[in-house]
Structure 1
Amino acid sequence: MEKPLILVTNDDGITAPGLRALIRTMKELGDVVVVAPDSPQSGMGHAITVDSTLFSKKVVVDHKEGAPSEYSCSGTPADCVKLALRVILDRKPDICVSGINHGSNSSINVIYSGTMSAAIEAGIEGIPAIGFSLCDYSWDANFEPALGSIKKIVSEALTNGIPKGTVLNVNIPKTKSAPKGIRICRQARGNWKEEFDKRTSPSGKDYYWLTGEFELLDKGEDTDEWALAQGYISVVPTQFDLTAHHAIPQINNWNLNEQ
């Protein structure tokens, strides 16, 4: 029986420890092919390369026997998935997993996330897809406590499928031991209170660093932010149909067609 084909990607770059941990875990479930950015692409959202050259090459990061095929890509996470499906793979993957991201992609962060945009790109193509993020921005973050749960989530997705038009946004709390469990959640309402830190370069030119603090606007106990704060892994089914269906009746009452 043919093993599942698992496409693995990320936004932190092909050498990121989170990606390496995800690859090791996915090798226990199927045949793995890796297509990932050749440099960090965090915060790129669903950007794609349309006005410059896109490069890709086969690389060897893991020299151990049985290491998966790996390809670096000069573009964004969404580019990586497009390139994998159109150029690199000889059959459609059974699932696409993205991550493990170094840092949270809960709440409104999902909008900016390159990790989740790679998963969404796969979902648009009808491929079950999951984005994984650990709430620890450190490059040497400890991913080990979450790997058993990640394997379980992907295994269940392979067995049961993911609802059409949906991808999973999975966030993992920073813990020294295994998380308390897994909670299916909704995305918490929140935003960033942002500021630009103005500085001056040695040549006298002004430049800016984006800074800010996350503001949670949601006190619900069914949200990803609540689950993470309690030590649970949050799983948010996320759709890429951005239509605000509830708003259509109200806007239909506008006098748009009257002269």
Structure 2
Amino acid sequence: MNKPLILVTNDDSIVAPGIRTLIDIAKQIGTVIVVAPDSPQSGMGHAITVNNTLQINKISEDGSEVTEYTCSGTPADCVKIAKNEILKQKPDLCLSGINHGSNSSINVIYSGTMSAAVEAGIEGIPSIGFSLADFSWKADFEPIKDYAKKIIEEVLNKGLPQNVVLNVNFPKLKKEEIKGIKICRQANAKYEEKFDKRISPFGKEYYWLSGEFVNNDKGEDTDEWALKNGYISIVPVQFDLTAHHAIQQLNTWNL
């Protein structure tokens, strides 16, 4: 049987330890093509490059076990250019990550990692975004390797619902401390932003964005609850943003 063709990308850049871990996992399962940003793109959301050119560079040698390209654009750009210019066929799966830092709750909106997964989903490619709740560049990905491999294999074997991608978040725990996997909903939580106002040596004002993550969602079926209680969270994410429950109410308006 032919191996599945797997596209791997991320938002932390092609040299990040997280994507190197994901590549190692993916090549045990299929034929791997990597198209990832040449520099960090965290927090870029679903931005695409329209006012500048894009550059891609093949960085793997001919005959390498994995074919790798860098892209000068965003994570969403990486998926677009991979599908349209690099790959000769539609991949069987797109994997994004493993992100350094959680992408649970509202973070899914801002996440370049998840936007790459969503972009692949828009193109009809089954897709998974992976994140570890550890922002350190030296984060330990070893405890989650087997779980990531199991999730990938399940998606390849069972498929995904139409127009759905998976947002997978791992807690920062030792392997023996992880209690299992929970299918969750996205917690209703957000950041309370603050701007640290400063003055440059030239007298010009500038700001650093900071803030505190606040979770007022007390549900025990959320991704935040799962991570806090030692579970891996999987949230099915759709990219149809229509608020279907509001249509009936809006139709009562005098428009």
Aligned CA RMSD, in angstroms, stands at 1.2
SS of 1:21 mapped into structure 2: helix
CA deviation vs aligned residue, 1:47-87 (integer Å, no higher than 9, x gap) = 00001111111013xx8x85300000000000000000000
Equivalent in the alignment of 1:251: 250
Alpha-carbon distance in 2 for matches of 1:76, 1:70: 16
How is 1:200-215 mapped onto 2 (pairs within 5 angstroms)? 200-215=199-214
CA shift for structure 1 position 40: 0.2
Alpha-carbon distance in 2 for matches of 1:216, 1:228: 13
How is 1:64-213 mapped onto 2 (pairs within 5 angstroms)? 66-178=64-176, 179-213=178-212
2:38 pairs with 1:38: yes
CA shift for structure 1 position 241: 0.1
CA deviation vs aligned residue, 1:106-136 (integer Å, no higher than 9, x gap) = 0000000000000000000000000000000
Alpha-carbon distance in 2 for matches of 1:254, 1:26: 51
Alpha-carbon distance in 1 for matches of 2:179, 2:201: 50
Alpha-carbon distance in 2 for matches of 1:177, 1:250: 48
User: Structure 1 unaligned runs (5+)?
Assistant: none
Alpha-carbon distance in 2 for matches of 1:202, 1:99: 38
Alpha-carbon distance in 2 for matches of 1:68, 1:203: 48
Alpha-carbon distance in 1 for matches of 2:179, 2:16: 26
SS of 1:120 mapped into structure 2: helix
Equivalent in the alignment of 2:59: 59
2:25 pairs with 1:2: no
Moved more, 201-210 or 107-116: 201-210
Alpha-carbon distance in 2 for matches of 1:66, 1:185: 38
Q: Percent identity?
A: 68
Alpha-carbon distance in 2 for matches of 1:103, 1:244: 29
State the AA in 2 paired with 1:11.
Answer: D
TM-score, with normalisation over the residues of structure 1?
Answer: 0.96
State the AA in 2 paired with 1:71.
Answer: Y
Alpha-carbon distance in 1 for matches of 2:160, 2:141: 24
SS of 1:207 mapped into structure 2: strand
CA shift for structure 1 position 204: 1.7
State the AA in 2 paired with 1:21.
Answer: T
Alpha-carbon distance in 2 for matches of 1:35, 1:153: 21
Q: List structure 1 segments (4+ residues) > 4 angstroms apart after TM superposition.
A: none
State the AA in 2 paired with 1:192.
Answer: Y
Aligned residues: 254
Moved more, 107-116 or 197-206: 197-206
Equivalent in the alignment of 2:238: 239
Alpha-carbon distance in 1 for matches of 2:22, 2:172: 16
SS of 2:115 mapped into structure 1: helix
Alpha-carbon distance in 2 for matches of 1:175, 1:201: 41
State the AA in 1 paired with 2:175.
Answer: S
